[in-house]
Every structure is written in C-alpha cells, then in structure tokens.
C-alpha cells in the first residue's frame, strides 16, 4: 500500500483477497554441514583434551593436575587431583570452628644482658655490606688498636683550657699539619 493509494480510494476486492491467502513456502534452509560459511565443521565438532597443571600448596603439597575433555557441545572433567576444586574430597577438610581464628601465642620481650648482646652481635649479620665481610672488619679493628697509642692527643692541654676557648683545638691542628 503506497502513499497515494489512500488518496485514490478504497482497495479493489481482488488485492484484499490476495493479502489474506496463505503464501506458498518457496524458501529453504541449508543444513549446517552443507553451509559454506561455517568453515570446517568436522574441526569444530571434534573434542579436545585439555591438561592443566598447578603447583601444590602448603596444605596439599605436590603437583596437581586437571584433565578436561572439551567439544563444541559439551565439556567434562576426566581427572582432578586431590586438593583442587571439584575433586569431591573437600568435605573432609571442612572446619567445624565456623571461621573462629586460633588464639594468638603471646610472646614478651625479655631483658638481655650486655654479654649476651655482644655474643649475638658477633654473628655474620654484623657488617654484611662491608667489602671483605667480618674478617675485614676484624682486621681494621686490629689496625686501629695498634695505631691508637701513637695518635693519642694530649689531654692535659685540653683539661687546662677555659670553657669555650678554641686554643687547644688550634694547637691540635698545628700538630696535625707538622
């Protein structure tokens, strides 16, 4: 029915009868295998085996494996290791505490003697980033101890000075430069 048909008047009776008559079914559809737009149907219909491996956890050590058979129409699990979801043995691991955490073990700091502190500081952790390690630190301490008596400043001059006077320091500078 066009735009100008309404202006011309009513429809003829023959065209109204044709509109109510059922149409003959001249359409047809191809089978999915016969259609060329789908590609290789046999490739799509074949099933593939997918194997996935997972590392173990602290609770369940060892390598875990899941094998699944997958096709275009269905998927099913063939093998699932214990400890993975879907293994079916999860009911034994259900906790009856209802999520209540374990009580925390309380530890308190203990007073350490000076001798124990020195003993702990003798370990290899002291002086880790020093080239040569603890052996080099020990050698440097020995060299400093051997050189210490020769470089000892005269304390008697410093003790006689007035508070705030810099004369003793000037004297030390003169000794170092000479």
pLDDT of 101-114, one tens digit each? 888 888 888 888 88
For the chain, percent of residues with pLDDT exceeding 90: 5
Q: Which of 110, 107, 54 is nearest to 84 (CA)?
A: 54
Whether residue 143 is predicted with pLDDT greater than 90 in this model: the reply is no
For the chain, the structural domain boundaries read 35-79
Taking a C-beta distance cutoff of 8 angstroms, is the pair 64, 54 a contact?
yes
Q: Where are the alpha helices (DSSP H) in 84-162?
A: 114-121, 133-147, 155-160
d(CA 166, CA 170): 6
First to last CA, the chain: 122
- What is the pLDDT at residue 172? 87
State how beta strands 48-54 and 75-80 pair: unpaired
Mean pLDDT of the chain: 75
What is the pTM assigned to this prediction? 0.30
φ, ψ of residue 125 to 5 degrees: the values are -75, -20
For 27-84, write each residue's pLDDT tens digit.
777 776 666 666 677 777 888 999 999 888 888 888 889 999 988 778 888 888 887 7
- What is the pLDDT at residue 89? 56
- Confidence grade of residue 124 (pLDDT, cut at 50, 70, 90): low
d(CA 151, CA 172): 11
Regarding predicted confidence, which is higher, 123 or 62?
62
d(CA 29, CA 23): 17
Which residues does 77 contact at the CB level (< 8 Å), separation at least 6?
66, 67, 68, 86
- What is the pLDDT at residue 50? 92
């Amino acid at each position: 029915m066009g735009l100008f048909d309404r202006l011309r008047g009513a429809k003829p009776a023959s065209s109204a009868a044709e509109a109510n008559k059922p149409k003959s079914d001249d359409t047809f559809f191809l089978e999915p295998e016969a259609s060329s737009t789908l590609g290789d149907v046999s490739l799509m219909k074949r099933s593939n085996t997918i194997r996935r491996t997972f590392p173990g956890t602290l609770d369940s050590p060892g390598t875990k494996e899941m094998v699944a058979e997958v096709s275009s129409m269905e998927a099913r699990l063939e093998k699932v290791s214990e400890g993975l979801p879907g293994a079916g043995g999860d009911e034994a691991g259900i906790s009856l505490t209802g999520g209540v955490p374990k009580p925390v073990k309380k530890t308190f700091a203990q007073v350490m003697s000076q001798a124990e502190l020195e003993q702990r500081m003798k370990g290899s952790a002291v002086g880790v980033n020093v080239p040569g390690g603890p052996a080099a630190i020990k050698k440097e301490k020995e060299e400093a101890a051997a050189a210490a008596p020769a470089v000892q400043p005269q304390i008697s001059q410093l003790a006689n000075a007035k508070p705030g006077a810099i004369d003793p320091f000037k004297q030390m500078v003169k000794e170092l430069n000479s």
